[in-house]
Amino acid sequence: MQLANPHNLEERPASRLRITAIKALQLRNHGQSLVKVETDAGLFGLGEAGAPGPLVRAHIQDYFATRLVGQDPLNIEYLFHSMTHGVSQWQARYVHMPTVSGIDIALWDLAGKVLNRSISELLTGRFRNEIPLYVNVTSHPDNWLDADSCAEWAQHQTSHPYGFRTYKMGFDHLLATGPRQGEHQGGRPATMLTPAELRLIRMGYENCRSALGWNYDLIVHCHNEWDLPSAVGIAEAVAPAKPLWVEDALPVMYSEAWKAYKLASPVRVMTGEKLELVSEFLPFLTNGAVDVLHPDLCYAGGISGCRKVADLAELFYVPVVTHCVGSLVQLLATAHFGASTRNFVMSENRIPSGDLYEAMNEESIVVNDGKLKVPDGPGLGITLVPDVIRANLAPGEPYWD
């Protein structure tokens, strides 16, 4: 990967670089946005923000551009603090963490390009050169309660050429076959499950486990919707299937219910994809309320914010798994984060769903036996294909406006 348009960079000290513009665009079928930080040397960094294009551009225009344009882009920690905490109380309402996250990732990409090193080499050096991936499955058994249907589903999942070995599954489809006949709606806070529904959940996950065998792992996917007795009931129901953990069983923010849940659960407790900055993760750790944390780089503060979360988690001997439902930019930012984080375990990915993971990048991604090779090129190691980006903009989106 060559440095793009360096404009005699070798003749101008890196400390003299200045940010000239911050831009964003949204791709079709994505709820997130690509972010671009441009400089007066012609170099730019790419990031991804966990919000749609119009919203991210509005926050850039109304708040972040005035704070960052003209600044040294290599002063990343200062800029992160300026975006997140260097504000008065009345200004705090303008701090939009998904936008902060996208800008932060772009700054790290830019730093790697300036210094001709990958992000993971800049951060700490690497603990690993590839990261394990788990799949957020988009298909489920047609009939969770039928062994043949589960076997067909398992065969489909395990035949993917990338060799994924861990599958995250929600049970909304399963509940739709139960007493409520499709009335269940995920995402509503503090919803109650009945004994009959918990029995369905137990049977469904036991059948999926039997179909997959024990050389593959399962994750139970919730959406922060259950009350405490239901959350405990879910953990007890799926325990025979031995999932790695139950994700997001209780409403998002910390409460004493999380601690009670962890004490009662026979399965690991995991949460974090909707939390922002290290301060929102802190009470889960200090109160011993989780076994695994699950930050999202495009939401929790980018690479800088998630590094702080991981460092804190390590003090409590808590491993880190990353949430990742964005584009290739987020996936490779996550790869560098995972490579440079000692207590990192694995990352979510949606490569099987398509969404331009191969087409948008000049470099190939390499996944073998469910593990993604961390790119060695400068920054993220991404060279976007402009024609592909232009052809796949979300309706009404500008190209790097």
Largest CA distance in the chain: 72
| CA–CA dist 65, 397 (Å, integer) | 20
381 is written with which tokens? 């190691």
CATH 3.20.20.120 region(s) of the chain?
122-376
Q: What is the C-alpha separation between 304 and 92, in angstroms, rounded?
A: 19
DSSP E strands in 276-338: the ranges are: 292-293, 320-322
Is the pLDDT reported for residue 391 higher than 90?
yes
pTM of the full predicted structure? 0.92
Average pLDDT over residues 296-312: 97
Residues 48-101 pLDDT 10s: 999 999 999 999 998 899 999 999 999 999 999 999 986 655 555 668 999 999
Q: Does residue 337 contact residue 311 with C-beta atoms inside 8 Å? A: no
Q: In sequence order, what E strands does 267-399 have? A: 269-271, 292-293, 320-322, 344-349, 367-368, 371-373
In whole angstroms, what is the distance from residue 36 CA to residue 19 CA?
11
CATH classification (class only), 122-376: alpha beta
Identity (one letter) of the amino acid at 343? N
Burial class (CB in 10 A: 0-12, 13-18, 19+), 66: exposed
State the residue for tokens 């700490």: 124
H-run or E-run covering 45 = strand 44-49
pLDDT at 139: 80
Q: What beta strand segments (E) does 94-185 contain?
A: 130-136, 166-170
Q: Which SS3 state, helix, strand or coil, does residue 87 take?
A: coil
Closest CA to 76 of 48, 45, 53, 118: 45
Would you state the pLDDT for residue 174?
A: 85
pLDDT in tens, 253-268: 999 999 999 999 999 9
Average model confidence (pLDDT) across the chain = 91
Encode pLDDT of 150-209 as tens digits: 999 999 999 888 999 999 999 988 887 766 666 656 556 668 899 999 999 999 999 999
How far is residue 394's CA from residue 397's CA, in Å, rounded to a whole number? 5
Do residues 244 and 217 lie in contact, with contact meaning Cβ atoms separated by under 8 Å? yes
pLDDT in tens, 25-52: 999 988 999 999 999 999 999 999 999 9
- What residue type is 87 in one-letter code? V
Backbone angles phi and psi of 36, in degrees to 5: -130, 125
Average pLDDT over residues 218-224: 95
In the chain, list all ranges with CATH 3.30.390.10: 9-117
Local structure of residue 91 (DSSP, 8 states): G
Q: What is the rounded CA–CA span in Å between residue 260 and residue 243?
A: 20
CATH fold for domain 9-117: Enolase-like; domain 1 (3.30.390)
